Structure 1
Amino acid sequence: MTGRVVAVSTSPVHGFSKSTQGEIALVEGVGVAGDAHAGPTVQHRSRVAVDPSQPNLRQVHLIHEELFGDLGAAGYEVASGQLGENITTGDVDLLALPVGTRLHIGSEAVVTVTGLRNPCQQINDFRSGLLKRLVHADGEGSVVRLAGVMGIVSRGGSVVPGDVIEVELPSAPHFPLTRV
């Protein structure tokens, strides 16, 4: 399976949305150079408050651009970077990937998928009612999370819009993504 990078975004401050860029640099074991969430240990403020020594399984946030079309059809205009993602992808079913999938991005970078993003109330502050679109129960009562996936940088490199994304599945058995 192959896909593509649609946009790249970063922010040096702990805000909600990130600014789109022409290029980002992924740093092995750290995340996106200059991004507030980069670091080998957890950087999300709520998680730092609980245990700042936890490993950072959320170094890179990826969202599929197809989500923006679905949200637009529901009346929510959202653009790349506005939901806090670092990499907006196209043509990759991110939510269906198993834990440990390696995403080879461009000629150098590799991101290993660790789990699903668990969105918080800040999404409603961005667009009222949006959280219910991104986290809801399906017909069987299971929680569905649509706000993208998180990963760690397994090999650093530059990432630019238009880069090819090659999907490398882990060895079986495959385990479904859960929130991280």
Structure 2
Amino acid sequence: MSESDTRVVAVIPARYHSNRFEGKPLALINGKPMIQHVVERASQVELLSRVVVATDDERIAKQVRDFGGEVVLTRSDHVSGTDRLAEAADLLDIEEHDVVVNIQGDQPLFPAEVVEQVAGPLLQDPALPMSTLIYKIIRSEEINDPNHVKTVFDCNNNALYFS
């Protein structure tokens, strides 16, 4: 399978129910729901062949359809956005050799180049099981914050574990 045969598909997990901000995907930013901003930004990334919102909430699904986005309804019992993404990939019949990029539904200003940074290694080496972005903690209060995932990696930048 050549790199040119591989599609890069963005799946954007979006939940209505949240502990910190219920209905966040539908929160208006400059007159548009947050999820629309994320979809529109993802749609500008040339590397992506498809952009799909994965949600368990009909309100979010309706909003996505109303602005012309693609949406897939998933189960509501997922523990994480990654679980929702995996179900969406199955429902969408995404091929095993394709690359699925998880774009967070609450990141309306994500830089387009991060999609290329995360998908690039997978396109270059199809044997890799996954790729993820990390950032260096610069504020001491982030160290003990459970909302900031920590990554331990080896000298070759391979992730050993996440906490």
Scaled by the length of structure 1, what TM-score is found? Answer: 0.22
Which has the greater radius of gyration? 2
Scaled by the length of structure 2, what TM-score is found? Answer: 0.24
Question: More relative contact order in 1 or in 2 (CA 8 Å, sep 6+)?
Answer: 1
